[in-house]
């Protein structure tokens, strides 16, 4: 356990290489679940939890960690199962998503696994898959295990509603007519994240083409090129997540930039990962903009900036 927990902070150097590391854990059963290590701040044994009257039923308390009060979410209950029983194997996984810090109550933390995104597959459309972004298979202790990767953004969206309202003064009335009917390619493995982007941009009259991973998006862009179409005439821009099965957003951007037929496509990276890290990655792979997830005003700003550029304003 100690070696697993001590290693979390050093496990971020694979992002941008179409690889990831998964922190794997159980929820009181033999089934193995996972989240990306990059979003994990620390893992610790469960401290005393203070109850918070009137809180969401999936919040099982508040922990004081390093002087900060952090809400604790029962991960097992959040994916549709009964609440997790606390025992000696119960742990907290402290994470940072969308500029907020929260902890998840989980069972036994198993280990960390280094994998390629091409080893990550879409989940089946049944049962608990509503709370999964992907699945993977691996061997551990001579067993073949199915690992279910949880859609944390969906879990959080059911507890903290995300507003798609656009603030007064953000919309540029001079651009509104030009935006109506424009198309944007939205690439994200989380249905919750795609919905947030499409509903935000839908208020501007923009049509969104949705893809679940980088490979699907790249296939679409290449098919347009093969048909003699310029992707810039098909879409105003592409908004892509960073972490996705088969091909992540960094690799997708690199592939687009390496193809002379579409190398100047406008690309915005829309992710819940650390802002300072992604600003560096944006420069490295050649994205045009970085947008922290679930900030509708920033999404609108990106689209309007691109529209002005296209109009030569």
The answer to whether domain 4-158 and domain 173-311 are alike in fold is no
Buried b (16+ CB within 10 A) or exposed e, 12-22: bebbbebbbbb
The full set of domain ranges for the chain reads 4-158, 173-311
d(CA 105, CA 127): 22
276, two tokens? 């300072």
Residue 63, classed as helix, strand or coil, is: strand
Q: What is the pLDDT of residue 254?
A: 92
> Selecting from 3.10.20.30, 3.40.50.970, 1.10.10.10, 2.40.50.180, what CATH number does the domain 4-158 have?
2.40.50.180
Q: What is the pLDDT of residue 274?
A: 56
Per-residue pLDDT of the chain (313 residues), as tens digits, is: 444 444 444 444 555 577 888 999 999 998 999 998 888 989 999 999 998 888 899 999 999 998 999 999 999 999 999 999 888 899 999 998 877 899 999 999 988 988 888 889 888 776 556 899 899 987 766 677 899 999 998 999 899 877 889 999 999 999 999 999 999 999 999 888 999 999 999 999 999 999 999 999 999 999 999 999 999 999 999 999 988 888 989 899 999 999 999 999 999 998 876 555 566 667 777 899 988 888 899 999 999 999 999 998 6
Q: What is the pLDDT of residue 182?
A: 97
> Selecting from 3.40.109.10, 3.40.50.2300, 3.30.930.10, 1.10.3720.10, what CATH number does the domain 173-311 have?
3.40.50.2300
For CA atoms 296, 301, 303, 304, the dihedral sign is positive
112: phi then psi, degrees, rounded to nearest 5: -110, 135
DSSP code of 39? G
Q: What is the pLDDT of residue 48?
A: 92
103, two tokens? 């902890």
Cα–Cα distances in angstroms (integers) from residue 245 to residues 31, 59, 213, 248, 267, in the given order: 20, 29, 6, 7, 19
Q: What is the pLDDT of residues 55-111, one digit of tens each?
A: 899 999 999 998 999 999 999 999 999 999 888 899 999 998 877 899 999 999 988
């Amino acid at each position: 356990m100690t070696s697993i927990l001590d290693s979390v902070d050093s496990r971020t150097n694979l992002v941008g290489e179409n690889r990831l590391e998964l922190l794997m854990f159980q929820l009181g059963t033999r089934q193995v679940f996972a989240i990306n290590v990059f979003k994990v701040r620390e893992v610790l044994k469960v401290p005393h939890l203070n109850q918070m009257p009137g809180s969401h039923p999936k919040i099982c308390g508040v922990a004081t960690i390093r002087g900060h009060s952090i809400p604790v979410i029962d991960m097992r209950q959040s994916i549709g199962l009964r609440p997790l029983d606390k025992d000696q194997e119960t742990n907290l996984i402290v994470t940072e998503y969308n500029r907020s810090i929260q902890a998840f109550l989980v069972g036994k933390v198993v280990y960390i696994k280094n994998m390629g995104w091409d080893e990550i597959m879409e989940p089946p459309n049944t049962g608990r898959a509503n709370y999964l972004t992907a699945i993977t298979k691996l061997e551990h202790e001579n067993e073949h295990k199915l690992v279910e990767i949880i859609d944390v953004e969906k879990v959080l969206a059911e507890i903290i509603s995300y507003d798609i309202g656009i603030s007064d003064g953000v919309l540029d009335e001079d651009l509104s007519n030009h935006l109506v009917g424009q198309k944007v390619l939205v690439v994200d493995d989380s249905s919750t994240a795609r919905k947030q982007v499409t509903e935000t941009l839908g208020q501007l009259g923009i049509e969104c083409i949705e893809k679940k991973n980088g490979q699907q998006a790249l296939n679409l862009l290449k098919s347009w090129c093969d048909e003699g179409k310029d992707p810039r005439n098909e879409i105003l821009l592409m908004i892509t997540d960073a972490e996705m099965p088969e091909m992540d957003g960094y690799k997708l951007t690199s592939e687009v930039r390496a193809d002379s037929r579409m190398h100047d496509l406008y690309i915005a990276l829309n992710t819940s990962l650390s802002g300072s890290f992604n600003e560096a990655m944006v420069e490295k792979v050649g994205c045009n903009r970085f947008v922290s997830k679930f900030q509708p005003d920033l999404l609108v700003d990106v689209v309007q900036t691109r529209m002005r550029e296209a109009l030569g304003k």
